[in-house]
Structure 1
Amino acid sequence: MKLRNTANRQASAAMGGFSDDEYVSVGEVPLPRADNFKRVSMLPLVFIIFYEVSGGPFGVEDAVGAAGPLLALLGFLVFPFIWSIPEALLTAEMGTMFPENGGYVVWVSAALGPYWGFQQGWMKWLSGVIDNALYPVLFLDYLKSAIPALEGGLPRVLAVIALTVVLTYMNYRGLTIVGWVAVLLGIFSLLPFVVMGLVAIPKLEPSRWFEVNLQDVDWNLYLNTLFWNLNYWDSISTLAGEVDNPKRTLPKALFYALILVVLGYFFPLLTGTGAVSVNRGLWTDGYFSDIAKIIGGVWLRWWVQGAAAMSNMGMFVAEMSSDSFQLLGMAERGMLPEFFGKRSRHGTPLIGIIFSASGVLLLSWLSFQEIVAAENFLYCFGMILEFIAFVWLRIKHPNASRPYKIPVGTVGAILMCIPPTILICAVLALSTLKVFLISMVAVVIGLVMQPCLRYVEKKRWIKFSISSDLQDLHANNQNNNVSLLD
């Protein structure tokens, strides 16, 4: 893989090159290119998005525990309009505008420069790794009622390590395998809730859906649960370079996945809160397996527990794919050392996978609520940068090529970002002091890390390179021959 020549060096630096020195070649042996591997088609892409965002209703129980049935049901109906739909639309437009690995890092770099692009990459990667640390926790929480030894101690530690190793190996074997595994796991994970809904029909009492006590609402837990279960639509953008015809496939896949996610949350909640007398103290992660036993018996409980295990496997591999390909995309833009851009013989980002898996193991000791709160805090910072980049590119470069464009003008684009921004402020304001301090330390690390990497590159202690296969963003607006980043 050759690097951009001297004439293109200035354009490359705008996207993340840290040095004015002439780049050197990567090596004698070319790295495997994405074109040499099978790309992800529509159906697997839908389920990869489904697992990056949701994976089914596992983990939504805290919304009922925090606020009761009515607010939980309303939350999963109203929240998508405030957050999920705007984020999915933004991802469709920006992801087709920049159809390459790196996704939102490239968007922010194009609009605000490489420094803020790196901050975006750091915060979103870290929030993704924190998010991925949830899935071994959820997996074991659903199994501990059947296998008490997994509740704590050495057996739980060994189970987390074993699960992480197995799922990491699946990521290593290839994205197309991840995609079709996601399809199979998705069907298996949702099917028991369809059965549970049918079995529960004679037991439904609609009056239970309207139970609410506004004086007894844990707003922090409620908003964090909704936010965690309905965000991460932009994660698929970091895989755009691996998608078959992303300019057409990505918007459609986001639309189908949005419908699947909302239905996958709402109807199990409708069934669980309507068929069983609500004791809010019991509604915590893993409680759906108990509801299944009450409604259908032990056989249904085991099915839900198995589905939860499979769902967490799907979420883990999908999130790790997004995180690792983001690091690969950043390396291809010169934001990270060259070795992050190397692919395995299966086309997967080997170093990115190793780094992401290591982060999961280091963070898996945290509790479910702590992980959700810390992950949401960092994710909020990243989303603010995405909204700014989206609006800025609409204002400064309205005629740039956008294969999919949200059918609103500049004013409409600004208005679309206002409700989710208000929600971000609410999530940040309700964070605990512990989560705030941990998150701010993480932010400061990113602010310092980018100049340090730039210094390392200038001293030539570690190789950095920019792929010549990437689109020259200065020539993005082909129709009008206007430079995107002038």
Structure 2
Amino acid sequence: MPADATAATEASGRAASNHPLAPRSAVTSFLGVGQLALLTLVVVASLRSLPAMAVFGLGSITLYLIPAIFFLVPTALVAAELATGWKGGVYVWVREALGNRWGFTAVWLQWIQNVVWYPTQLSFIAAALAFVFFDPSLSNSGFFTAVVILVLYWGSTLITLRGGNLFAKLGSWGGILGTLLPAALLVVFGAIWVFGGEKSQVPLEASAVIPPFTGLASIVLIVSNVLAYAGMEVNAVHVNQMRDPGRGYPRSVFLAAILILLVFILPTIAIAVAVPQKELGLTNGIMLAFQEYFGHWGVGEWATAVVSALIAAGALASVVAWIAGPSKGLLAAAETGLLPPALQKRNKEGVQTGILMLQGTIVTLLAAIFIIVPDVSAAFVALIDMAAALYLIMYMLMFVSAIMLRRTAPDVKRAYRVPAMNLIAGVGFLACLAAFLLAFIPPDGFTAFPTAAYPWIVGAVIVVLGLPPLIFYAARRPGWDRRSDAEKGRRGTHQEDEVATPAASDAAPGAGSGSAPSSPGADAT
């Protein structure tokens, strides 16, 4: 989830041109292949998903590569074409291809998956804070985790309601200090550990690259890897800032994919070699690795506390930066008459209070899962599956829309066109569909819910959280549309479309970004 520094993307984008969505004739300087790749790395890379894959040791390499090839790359390429043909993000893309009902459904799913993502990111922060407080056992306390989620989430919401953008401005530093620096430290420590002859907790033979297969449940955590890459589409909005998008953007995508894989794979292996698998928790695995390294080399607990504080601060910056963004995208659609007036309310600062209150209520209810389910890691997995399933539906709508728009709007100018669109979008769609189906299968060793009940619980959550847009659309009334007659007549289908989305300028995450993602992640174009 989705992305820890989307604000950095916007800041860099504005520095490179008048605006990332500006016409190419208005661009005053251009982004290079490497620059855009680094921006994408900062947006997508997140440490939250690493412990889930560390249990597979070298097998995590395969489990990272599969969604990278079949999801990450198709998402980035398809979103680039859509972003350079239609301004407005997923709502406009899907609306132009499938109609207003499904466009609204897509942006709702984009928003609601972020709502589910907040507790997972905040539970990760709670685990880090447990080490800051020199009491790692707190990371396994559902009550402590729930309290941290509620305090930090509502505190972040209060900041957002005041119209402040301090944390959005600090988002880039949060991404660097809270994500890239700890990742680099893990890689260095892991290398010293392995090449220094210390005992590895996982096999390091080449054959270990193939993960053990004992049924679908043994690899179902690959779903969380798909969610880790969510948000790759965020920087598609910057395609117009490249001198030669047709050649430069694909190169940037593949360079970014390699960098993202390195940031994911190397720290994951560094965690795996130092921490016994039976001790790994999905929320505290990274902190346990630092504790193991520092303890082995005789460094005091203060070092683990300092690194944990950095990780917590970086993750919190991403949450605060994401609080308002996706909800602004939903508000833009809502104000065309798709949500009742109560959910269109703004305060004097222009912040969408109605949607934020609904968002906070859902987060509060989801936080209760950590109290109801004693195993914090199990609750974490359940929330990830819920978020992934919702987000994957949105991505499937995006891939279908891209294929349809090639047929129904072939003359719309795109600065970048995907080669073999049907093949690439089709691969992305099938990857999303496979991951969606895997979300209904409990991971290996998951005991929080009965195995037979697990798919019904995930399905119920998808229905409860995913069905409202269709209900709202069917129940909409003329009085819900608060636009003037002039605004109603201005609906465009190309670059003139004024529908706002959770753009990077709103400090919206990419998803993870995400992305998701990594993201969590969300479409920030």
Band the TM-score falls in, shorter-chain normalisation: 0.7 to 0.9
Q: Distance in 1 between matches of 2:360 and 2:43?
A: 16
Alignment partner, residue 187 of structure 1: 176
Q: TM-score, normalised by structure 1?
A: 0.74
Report the CA distance between 1:118 and its aligned residue.
1.7
Preserved contact between residue 40 and residue 232 of structure 2 (Cα < 8 Å): yes
Counterparts in 2 of 1:215 and 1:221: CA distance versus 1, 3 Å = closer
Structure 2 counterpart SS, 1:270? helix
Preserved contact between residue 60 and residue 225 of structure 1 (Cα < 8 Å): no
Preserved contact between residue 128 and residue 308 of structure 2 (Cα < 8 Å): yes
Report the CA distance between 1:328 and its aligned residue.
2.5
Structure 1: segments with no counterpart, 5+ residues: 1-38, 479-486
1:143 equivalent to 2:146? Answer: no
1:363 equivalent to 2:366? Answer: yes
Counterparts in 2 of 1:130 and 1:392: CA distance versus 1, 3 Å = same
Alignment partner, residue 204 of structure 2: 208
Alignment partner, residue 438 of structure 1: 461
Alignment partner, residue 334 of structure 2: 331
Alignment partner, residue 268 of structure 2: 269
* Larger CA deviation: 296-305 vs 251-260: 251-260
Alignment partner, residue 473 of structure 1: 492
* Matched letter for residue 436 of structure 1: G
Structure 2 counterpart SS, 1:218? helix
Report the CA distance between 1:451 and its aligned residue.
0.6
Preserved contact between residue 329 and residue 341 of structure 1 (Cα < 8 Å): no
Counterparts in 2 of 1:113 and 1:230: CA distance versus 1, 3 Å = same
Q: Distance in 2 between matches of 1:41 and 1:470?
A: 33
Alignment partner, residue 451 of structure 1: 474
Q: Distance in 2 between matches of 1:347 and 1:209?
A: 57
Report the CA distance between 1:83 and its aligned residue.
0.8
1:372 equivalent to 2:384? Answer: yes
1:308 equivalent to 2:311? Answer: yes
Q: Distance in 2 between matches of 1:99 and 1:150?
A: 43
Report the CA distance between 1:426 and its aligned residue.
2.1
Structure 2: segments with no counterpart, 5+ residues: 1-8, 15-19, 21-35, 296-300, 370-378, 441-454, 498-525
Q: Give the percent of matched residue pairs that are identical in Structure 1 and Structure 2.
A: 18
Preserved contact between residue 80 and residue 239 of structure 2 (Cα < 8 Å): no
Q: Distance in 1 between matches of 2:192 and 2:10?
A: 42
Preserved contact between residue 93 and residue 398 of structure 2 (Cα < 8 Å): yes
- Residue in structure 1 matching 2:120, options 134, 152, 174: 134
- Residue in structure 1 matching 2:427, options 419, 441, 446: 419
Q: Distance in 1 between matches of 2:259 and 2:433?
A: 28
1:226 equivalent to 2:225? Answer: yes
Alignment partner, residue 58 of structure 1: 48
1:161 equivalent to 2:164? Answer: no
Q: Distance in 2 between matches of 1:422 and 1:391?
A: 13
Q: TM-score, normalised by structure 2?
A: 0.69
Q: Distance in 1 between matches of 2:430 and 2:81?
A: 22
Structure 1 counterpart SS, 2:204? helix
Greater RCO structure (CA 8 Å; 6+ sep): 2
Counterparts in 2 of 1:260 and 1:355: CA distance versus 1, 3 Å = farther
Q: Paired residues, what number?
A: 419
Alignment partner, residue 40 of structure 1: 10
* Matched letter for residue 232 of structure 1: G
Report the CA distance between 1:301 and its aligned residue.
2.2
* Larger CA deviation: 123-132 vs 329-338: 329-338
Structure 1 counterpart SS, 2:212? coil
* Larger CA deviation: 468-477 vs 439-448: 468-477
Counterparts in 2 of 1:228 and 1:106: CA distance versus 1, 3 Å = same
Report the CA distance between 1:158 and its aligned residue.
3.5
* Matched letter for residue 289 of structure 1: M
Preserved contact between residue 123 and residue 378 of structure 1 (Cα < 8 Å): yes
Preserved contact between residue 59 and residue 138 of structure 1 (Cα < 8 Å): no
Report the CA distance between 1:374 and its aligned residue.
1.0
Report the CA distance between 1:120 and its aligned residue.
1.4
Preserved contact between residue 85 and residue 415 of structure 2 (Cα < 8 Å): yes
Q: Distance in 2 between matches of 1:184 and 1:373?
A: 29
Report the CA distance between 1:465 and its aligned residue.
2.4
* Matched letter for residue 70 of structure 1: L
Alignment partner, residue 93 of structure 1: 81
Report the CA distance between 1:416 and its aligned residue.
0.4
Q: 1:223-262 CA distances to partner (integer Å, 9 max, x unpaired)?
A: 222112111334678xx7xxxx88428x879858656543
Preserved contact between residue 327 and residue 341 of structure 1 (Cα < 8 Å): no
Preserved contact between residue 111 and residue 326 of structure 2 (Cα < 8 Å): yes
* Matched letter for residue 225 of structure 2: L
Preserved contact between residue 119 and residue 149 of structure 2 (Cα < 8 Å): no
Report the CA distance between 1:41 and its aligned residue.
2.6
Counterparts in 2 of 1:227 and 1:340: CA distance versus 1, 3 Å = same
Counterparts in 2 of 1:436 and 1:153: CA distance versus 1, 3 Å = closer
* Matched letter for residue 227 of structure 1: V
Preserved contact between residue 150 and residue 367 of structure 2 (Cα < 8 Å): no
Q: Distance in 2 between matches of 1:361 and 1:434?
A: 18
- Residue in structure 1 matching 2:277, options 276, 279, 287: 279
* Matched letter for residue 41 of structure 1: A
* Matched letter for residue 131 of structure 1: W
Counterparts in 2 of 1:414 and 1:369: CA distance versus 1, 3 Å = same
* Matched letter for residue 172 of structure 2: V
